Structure 1
Amino acid sequence: MRFLRWLARYPLVWLTVIVLIVVLTLGAAGFARTSAGIAIGYVSLVIAWTLVGMIRDVLRGHVGLDVLAVVAMVATLAVGEYVASLVIVLMLAGGEALEDYAGRRAKRELTALLDRSPQIAHVLVHPNSDSDEVQDAAADDVEVGDVLLIRPAEVVPVDGVLLSPAASFDESSLTGESMPVHRSAGDEVLSGAVNGSRAVRIRAVRRSADSQYQQIVALVKQAQDDRAPTVRLADRFAIPFTAVSLVIAGAAWGLSGDPARFAEVLVLATPCPLLIAAPVAFLGGLSRAAKAGVIIKGGGVIEQLARIRSAAFDKTGTLTEGRPDLVAVDPAAGFDADELLALAASAEQYSSHVLADGIRRAAAERGIALRPAAEASEVATNGVTAVIGGRTVLVGKPAYVASIAPDTVRRDIASGEAAAYVAVDGRFAGVLVLADDPRPEAAAVVSWLRAHEVERVTMLTGDARATAEAIAHTVGIDDIHAELLAPEKVHLAAQMRPRPVLMVGDGINDAPVLAAADVGIAMGAKGATAAGDAADAVILTDSLAKVADAVSIGKHTLRVAYAAIWIGIAISIVLMLIASTGVIPAVAGALIQEGVDLATILYALRALRGPATGLVVPAAEKETVSPAR
């Protein structure tokens, strides 16, 4: 069956083999004219089909390398090298088969992610009992709140909260981490994780389309469909290589007076190394990045990553750990500390900002119940407004709160701390102070980027300048832009030089600036923001070190792609020069060229492996920034 599938996938290969056998058999039996007629007819059909494809490409504005293959086939037919013309067709068809094999080999990590996409969910019929009676449903049909049974070694179909006391999961397909992770009741379990040895229950918190794994699958499909850099790289070499090949072939004909030399040279100039090497290398880079826990949306992004000259970072949740803890509650006159925290936490239920999580967590730890809001809205990067118990509560930046409550008083905060200001019914109600430590790896990442051709590193944040400066100086960033609104971030990213510019953010409030940068990387490990459409790449693990991995993979992949192309070109030119002396017959030349194809493919597969970044996190960087903690 596998052989039959292979035949169906590559019909031109086996059809050419059959024609070649027939032509050789008839020629050996003395039917030379019939043999030649079959070869001419068959190769002419292939030439016509190729020309149709070339015309379509030209109409789309793409001038490819197929002209060399067509000229080589026409030349061999013109000088009577019918067998050589069939071998050229066979080598071109075989090149496509080699490219397909190498491509599948290169993107195996991406394909593995798609193949493991969860399809079935076991929905408990009686979720509030001990009964394990289930009704199987498509993963897409699971609703938020459904209780699911996850059997041993099964893939979690949707994001959920663990209801069982404890469980272990293999999250390697999500994070690249090979060791199982342990979860306790109440912890979030991401779709795509593989359950351990015991059946467990989870409650769905997102539908399939919004869950982590499905978003990763969407990114992978987009990455697989993007082949733009392959075209661009081939185009850069197409015209020069074609011109050099035709000059060498023409010179060989002119100097020898033998038109057969023209054909003998051109059979060694078939463009497979250029057409195959680049896509294989880029697919290998995409696959390697996926294995490392970074989903890159396409080969074009890899090419940009390799050339990054400036890098900009958001602060909260990017350079910092993104888990701020409440360290002080400072109520204004007329407000109680617990009341202030209760109102703020209730409003922050409707915010996606990382500081909101710290405020909600602090309320829960103090046993303060959150109250529902009659209505709520959030202004990205500024704050959230909610009507709670008939009172309008505003939580956000000091300038934003002051625009509603003119009596707002700014509070002096220590380095490394952040403040959320609160207004109630148009009156200043107080300040909540939180501390968020820098990531242990942040300083090492900034240092690594500077050591690898990134000339400028900056911070773009909406937080207060004092807090921003404290974190920035700790991680080694001197260029600081604080208290920015979203449009200001976009403007600064667009004006930043030198280019290309890399922007790293948490993928929630940073969507506009991620889209404005040449390459936007979203920290997508904490929830359903992984598919941030604005980002060009998504980090699946909660580690800033993956930024260095992404840039390193981009640089290595581009080096491999170019090296494979140059190896193919160099070998082809040397062989063409040798063939111009007449020592390589046309048939032998076509077979030798297939060896060149194989060599470039094997080299391009080096993109699947590469040097480690060598990133070292100094022990000193693990110290806390905020004296308040």
Structure 2
Amino acid sequence: MRSWMRRYGIICATLLVLGSVLALSVAGADATARGLAIGYVTLFVAWTIARMVRDVLRGHVGLDVLAIVAMVATLAVGEYVAALIIVLMLAGGEALEDFAARRARRDLTALLDRSPRVAHRLPDDGPDALADIPVEEVEIGDVLLVRPAEIVPVDGVLLGPEASFDESSLTGESMPVTRSPGDELMSGAVNGTQVVRMRATRRSRDSQYQQIVALVREAESSRAPVVRLADRFAIPFTAVSLTIAGLAWLVSGDATRFAEVLVLATPCPLLIAAPVAFVSGMSRAARAGIVVKDGSAIENLSRIVSAAFDKTGTLTRGRAALVEVRPARGGDSDELLRLAASAEQYSTHALADGVRRAADARGLQLVGATDASEIATNGVTADISGRSVTVGKHDFVARLVGDIPTARTTSGQAAAYVAIDGNFAGTLMLSDRPRPEAAAVVRWLREHGIPRVAMLTGDGGSTADSIGAEVGIDEIYADLLPTEKIHLAGGLQPRPVMMVGDGVNDAPVLAAADVGVAMGAKGATAAGEAADVVVLVDSLAKVAEAVSIGRRTMQVALTAIWIGIGASIGLMLVATTGLIPAIAGALIQEVVDLTTILFALRALRGPTPDLGDHGHGSRDLRPAPIARKA
């Protein structure tokens, strides 16, 4: 009760003053009642003016001017009870907004509330040495115990035994998943009925769940662009309201009519319904595995008319598989792969992971480098066991060793060229197939008002053309450097443009786009930090869903505003006839406020894009590994 009174002190004070005024009036002390009401309302008006001036100095139109004029007018004509009801209505409107916003943020705050705080460490791999420590103190390599129904505190690998985990808060997949010894465990997953041991592979701050929490906290604390949205209507609505009230006074010759009209012109629908709708849309997106960082991204998503996609890890899964090793001049294929994979340990490119996995599958022992460097999107050079190994694109390797043959590729294949000690050593052929849902997403975007869809990729032209043909994109820009991606994205028309990508290399273009969407980055990479929207689920279908949620949210917000404005203007016109007394008008306006707020909560729900049979082709709903594309 005390907490409620502290949170809503103005409501409590207003109710106390209103009750006292009514009691004094019943007791016949009208002068005292009037003086108490005038004094309290005057203080409230002064406080509201100060707040309004502060907003104007920040460049925002003060919608509270209508409420101020209404309170002053009701006091001037002796309707001091109506003036108190207006104060109560304004304070109550903020309470309603707070309640609705907490309801709308429920899915956002659920992740924050479940954040792991304690870990059970086994320093000596023995149960007798179990120690409870803050999750921030977990170090890489620590062996941890996770009890039944507990949250996995950090990212790690399962040591045993086999167990099931609830990953719904991370992936949206409602069914428990079974993990075997050696499998990766994600922080934030809930253990089933087994006591399990795990080895930490990341610290808390670097773990996937904490990265999600960081994104959600940023979104939860952001303010939607509702001030700007309200400003669009503020001056016209204020002018119309004052005009109607002034004409009612002029025609009737009764100043009371002016006050009776203005009590129905309070701006709560503008100031409350819109932010509730935006927060509801952000919460709905979080429930779908999409973190929208702020309200401006919601608004921009609703207006997208052009889209650009990166290829590797975006239109494709980014998990290329080695399909062939082609050594030059009869060289040893295993040695070529071993040296190339050793160099690729120092690359962030998505293809590098495929090379490393292939070497591991063949049982090849990788060695460390004494020196290594990478040129983004081109390749990596490393000194391996006294030998200089370069792996990368055709032109990158050719610049180092001279002319080299161009590998023949089939649909969806990419070639990684290898040079050893300044000589061409061979080619690694990898295949990274399109996501099953990619073509359906591209088709849905075109069918829903986004006619221009392009691919911007640093990969070679033949591979890009092949993937583009499969997913339905014919506007393809290949062999791009990061600066060229930014230039092309900035020049795409019509605007606004949405850019979808992943990886460190995509961070600049995601930041430069009107809306940057990071696939599976979860805030761990520069891409996740630079993007406006982060898709936590490994499915391109979520891009279409993000656009759909943005449009639905803006539709609900604008409709709620127009419902409030329409109802207020209609009631004001009725009030010009004198049929609605000031006190009744103030109470009726509160009903209008409640109606618009309840309507704004409709943004919590909405239809999911119908992508046909392939709309959910990506059935691996675990958050994608941290993006590794350079």
Query: TM class, shorter-chain normalised?
Result: over 0.9
Residues 1:537 and 2:533 aligned together:
yes
Q: 2 CA distance for matches of 1:514 and 1:222?
A: 18
1:16 to 14, 17, 21: 14
Aligned counterpart, 1:257: 253
Aligned counterpart, 1:625: none
Q: 2 CA distance for matches of 1:269 and 1:239?
A: 13
In structure 2, relative to structure 1, the CA distance for the partners of 1:531 and 1:481 (3 Å cut) is closer
Q: 1 CA distance for matches of 2:237 and 2:129?
A: 67
In structure 2, relative to structure 1, the CA distance for the partners of 1:206 and 1:527 (3 Å cut) is farther
Q: 2 CA distance for matches of 1:272 and 1:524?
A: 39
Aligned counterpart, 2:174: 178
1:72 to 70, 73, 76: 70
Q: 1 CA distance for matches of 2:450 and 2:110?
A: 33
Residues 1:219 and 2:242 aligned together:
no
1:403 to 379, 399, 402: 399
Alignment of 1:141-180 (within 5 A): 141-180=137-176
Secondary structure class of the residue paired with 1:472: helix
2:560 to 555, 561, 564: 564
Residues 1:322 and 2:322 aligned together:
no
Give the % identical residues: 68
Structure 1 unaligned spans of 5+ = 623-629
Aligned counterpart, 1:348: 344
2:80 to 79, 82, 85: 82
Q: 1 CA distance for matches of 2:522 and 2:417?
A: 25
1:237 to 217, 230, 233: 233
Report which stretch shifted further, 152-161 or 457-466. 152-161
1:54 shift after superposition: 0.9
The answer to whether the Cα contact below 8 Å between 1:161 and 1:186 also exists between their aligned partners in 2 is yes
State the TM-score, normalizing by the size of structure 1.
0.96
The answer to whether the Cα contact below 8 Å between 2:563 and 2:596 also exists between their aligned partners in 1 is yes
2:112 to 90, 111, 114: 114
The answer to whether the Cα contact below 8 Å between 1:530 and 1:538 also exists between their aligned partners in 2 is no
2:487 to 487, 491, 515: 491
Q: 1 CA distance for matches of 2:16 and 2:492?
A: 60
The answer to whether the Cα contact below 8 Å between 1:530 and 1:540 also exists between their aligned partners in 2 is no
Q: 1 CA distance for matches of 2:567 and 2:114?
A: 41
In structure 2, relative to structure 1, the CA distance for the partners of 1:527 and 1:593 (3 Å cut) is closer
1:527 shift after superposition: 9.6
1:318 shift after superposition: 0.9
Superposed CA offset, 1:306-346 (max 9, x none): 11111111111111122211111111237421111001111
2:39 to 38, 41, 55: 41
The answer to whether the Cα contact below 8 Å between 1:75 and 1:263 also exists between their aligned partners in 2 is yes
State the TM-score, normalizing by the size of structure 2.
0.96
Residues 1:459 and 2:455 aligned together:
yes
Alignment of 1:194-205 (within 5 A): 194-205=190-201
1:184 shift after superposition: 1.9
Superposed CA offset, 1:480-522 (max 9, x none): 1111111111110000011111111123321111111111111
Residues 1:502 and 2:498 aligned together:
yes
Report which stretch shifted further, 34-43 or 528-537. 528-537
The answer to whether the Cα contact below 8 Å between 1:525 and 1:542 also exists between their aligned partners in 2 is no
1:387 to 383, 387, 405: 383
1:618 shift after superposition: 4.5
Q: 2 CA distance for matches of 1:228 and 1:573?
A: 26
Q: 2 CA distance for matches of 1:506 and 1:616?
A: 25
2:290 to 294, 297, 308: 294
The answer to whether the Cα contact below 8 Å between 1:507 and 1:535 also exists between their aligned partners in 2 is no
Q: 2 CA distance for matches of 1:604 and 1:335?
A: 68
What RMSD in Å do the two structures reach over aligned CA positions? Answer: 1.7
Report which stretch shifted further, 525-534 or 9-18. 525-534
Q: 1 CA distance for matches of 2:616 and 2:226?
A: 44
How many positions carry a matched residue from both structures? 618
Name the amino acid aligned to 1:591. L
Residues 1:442 and 2:438 aligned together:
yes
Aligned counterpart, 2:423: 427
Structure 2 unaligned spans of 5+ = 619-630
In structure 2, relative to structure 1, the CA distance for the partners of 1:161 and 1:168 (3 Å cut) is same
Report which stretch shifted further, 90-99 or 373-382. 373-382
Aligned counterpart, 1:188: 184
Q: 1 CA distance for matches of 2:202 and 2:548?
A: 34
Aligned counterpart, 1:416: 412
